[in-house]
Amino acid sequence: MVFKSKKGDIAGNALVVANVDRFNMVKNKLSDIKLVNDFMGYYTYTGFYENKRLTLSWSGIGNTSLALDTLELYKLGAKNIIRFGSTASINKNIKPGSYVMPISYSHNNGGLFNEEIKDNLSISLSADYDLLKKFDLNLKDYEHYITDAFTTDSQKVRTNEFIDKLNKLGIDNLDMEGSALYLNSKLYNFKALSVLTVYS
């Protein structure tokens, strides 16, 4: 275990955030807040938001870090894990400042995925439909999109040629961690959704 927390410290609903400013913004909105983990920099707090118990965890950057963080949250009792992050749009109709919720993720083969799946098969990395439907309704007054996304934590692949290829496949946006969240949700049977702000 990476977390020093014990069962009961982690709420059924968890929010994972990589950006430090965004993490502190959410943290400041929680009441009756308690630090439940600080080991290896995975700062995790449990408190209340609008009278509902919520755990906030810093996930680190990249697929491997987020996979580790969300697995620990799941083992300690999280049933719904939301990633509140950011993304780059490669769809000219999706502008900075809007929100996207990937219904599915694609990714490059190898690394984390080969190690976790261990078989020559492809798992459909998809959002939990009930969470997606709920957030779609909650964001009705904001510009938002349900998208197909691609995860890569390598900046070298983001060439114009590669982005054109993704566009032709119907991919709308790129991020660095989302596919690991959806992979873990399939492997360990918890509900997951990415809610992302478009920054470029």
Q: What is the pLDDT of residue 111?
A: 67
The pTM of the full predicted model, rounded to 2 decimals, is 0.93
Q: What is the pLDDT of residue 112?
A: 73
Q: What is the pLDDT of residue 17?
A: 98
- Contact (CB, 8 A) for 81 and 192: yes
How many CB atoms within 10 Å of residue 145? 21
Q: What is the pLDDT of residue 2?
A: 67
| Concatenated DSSP letters of 112-127 | HHHHHH-SS----EE-
Q: 53: Cβ–Cβ under 8 A, 6 or more apart, which residues?
A: 11, 12, 13, 46, 47
Over residues 117-137, the pLDDT tens digits come to 777 777 889 999 999 999 999
What span, in angstroms and rounded, lies between the C-alpha atoms of 39 and 151?
A: 27
- Tell me which residues of the chain have a pLDDT lower than 70: 1-2, 111, 114-115
Q: What is the pLDDT of residue 132?
A: 99
- What is the set of domains in the chain, with CATH numbers? 13-198 (3.40.50.1580)
Q: What is the pLDDT of residue 189?
A: 96
Q: What is the pLDDT of residue 25?
A: 97
